[in-house]
Structure 1
C-alpha cells in the first residue's frame, strides 16, 4: 500500500528562519565548515545555552546536523540544498535596515559580495565571473530552450527561472586536466552541474558536484584562503595567476 508523503511545512520553516539568532547561525554555517556551539553563540550574540536550544530546533527540523569531537559539539548544514534555499531566499529578502556605521562592517559586507562560499562552492562576484567565463569558453553550455536569449540572461537580475546548464566535451577534458575527477562525478548521486541564483550579483554561480570540486581544488592549490569573517574567502596572488594560466580568466578580486 502506497503511503502519501505529507506536504512540506513551509510555515514551520518560516518560523525557524524568523528568529534573527537562528538566521544568523544558518548564514554562518553557509561557510560549509562545521562550527562549534560557542562560535555560533558568538555569531548570534546569544549565550551558549540559548544557542544550543536554537540549534536543537534547527536539527529537529532537519536543517542542521550535529557531530561530536571530544567534549565539543559541532554543527553544519544538513546539505547543499539547505544552502541553496537560503541563497534563494536572500534574493527576495528585503535589505537589512541596520545602518552600516563602522569601517569593519562595511569591509565585511564588501568582502561577502566579492567572494564567499555558498556551502561548498564559490559565490559572489568571483563565483559569477568564473561561471560566465566557463560559458564563454564553451566549457559549460546552456541546454537548448533553457533561456530565450543569451544577452537577456547575462543582464543582472535576468537569471531566468528555466535556465539549465551542462558540461561540454571540451569542459570535461579541461576540468579533468585540472585534476577534477569528472568520471567519478558521473557515478555519484549529486548532479554534476547545478546553479544557484547569487543574492548579491543577481546572476547564476556554479554549484553541483563540479562547483564543489573546483572550490576544493582551488583551496588545495592555495588559490583560495578563508577570511576572518564566516563565509568570506579571498583569491590569493597565486590564485589570480593560476586562474589566468589555466582558464585564461583575468580576475581583479
Structure 2
C-alpha cells in the first residue's frame, strides 16, 4: 500500500518547475541527455543533473549509457499517465502555458493540440477523433476505466495494417494494459492508450500517415496520411493539421 510519505515525495518531485519541465519534454517517449533537458528546463547542466538524479532514484526516470553520454527517459507508461493526469487538472484550473521543448515551440502550439505523442501513443484532436470513430463503428468499447477491442474491430484494424499480434503480447496481467481510455488534456475527451494506442501510433508512423516534428511532441499529418485517415476514420475535413502537413 502506498504511504502518505511516498505519495508526498512523488508529488514534490513532480511539482518543482524545473523537474516538471524536464518530465514534460520526455512525454514524447524520447531519451535525452542532461544537457538537452537542462536547456528545455532553463537551468544549468549542474542543476539539471541534480534534479535528474532525484527523479531516477524515485523511479520516475531510467538512465542508459551510450558511449560518453547518458540518456534519460520516462521509466514507464504509468509515469506518462500520471503526468497526463496532472496536465488535465492543471488545464482546468489555470491558463494553459506553452509546453517546454528542446527547441522553441512557438507557432507549433496549434500543432500540439492537433496531434502529438503522449509517451508511446497518439494524443490531441486527431487521437480523440480516431477513438470516437472506432467506438461509433463498434470496433472498440471504452468504459470509465478500461476498453476492449471487438471482433469487428480486429478485422478493421488488421485491414489498415495494425499489428495486433505484437500488441496482444502485452495482454498478460503483469504486463501492460491492452486498451484503455486516456483523458486528453487539450480536448477533455478520451483517446486510446495502452498497447493498442501504441500500435495505432506505430502504424500511422510506419505507413507515412504521420511524421514527427523535430524538437517537439507534435506530429504532422502528411498529404498521403490526410487521405488515409479520412478514409479510415472520417478525419481531416478542413482540420488544422491539413495545413500543417
Q: State the TM-score, normalized to the length of structure 1.
A: 0.83
Which structure 2 residues correspond to residues 226-241 of structure 1 after superposition, within 5 A?
Answer: 226-241=212-227
Does the 8 Å CA contact 2:129/2:235 hold for their aligned counterparts? no
Per-residue displacement from partner, 1:7-61 (whole Å, max 9, x unpaired)? Answer: 3611111111121110000000001111121111110011112111111110001
Matched, 1:30 2:27: yes
Q: How many matched pairs? A: 227
Query: Cα offset for 1:96?
Result: 4.9
Match of residue 163 from structure 2: 181
After superposition, the CA RMSD in angstroms is 2.1
2:165 is the counterpart of 1:165: no
* Match of residue 111 from structure 1: 111
User: Does structure 2 conserve the Cα–Cα contact (< 8 Å) formed by 1:108 and 1:229?
Assistant: no
Question: Map of 1:120-135 to 2, 5 A cutoff?
Answer: 120-135=120-135
**Structure 2: 5+ residue runs without aligned partners?**
99-103
Maintained 8 Å contact 2:105/2:216: no
- Residues 6 and 195 (structure 1), Cα distance of their counterparts in 2 relative to 1, 3 Å cut: closer
Distance 1:138 1:68, change over 3 A: same
Q: Report the equivalent of 2:101.
A: none
- Match status 1:205 vs 2:186: no
Which structure has the larger Rg?
Answer: 1
How far apart are the structure 2 equivalents of 1:19 and 1:66? 20
CA contact (8 A) 2:167 2:199 kept: no
Kindly indicate whether the alpha-carbon contact (under 8 Å) linking 2:168 and 2:178 is maintained by their aligned counterparts in 1. Answer: yes
Q: After superposition, give the CA deviation of every residue in 1:119-170 in whole Å (9 maximum; x if it has no partner).
A: 000101111111101111211123xxx4xxxxxxxxxxxxxxx353210101
Q: How far off its partner does 1:112 sit?
A: 1.6
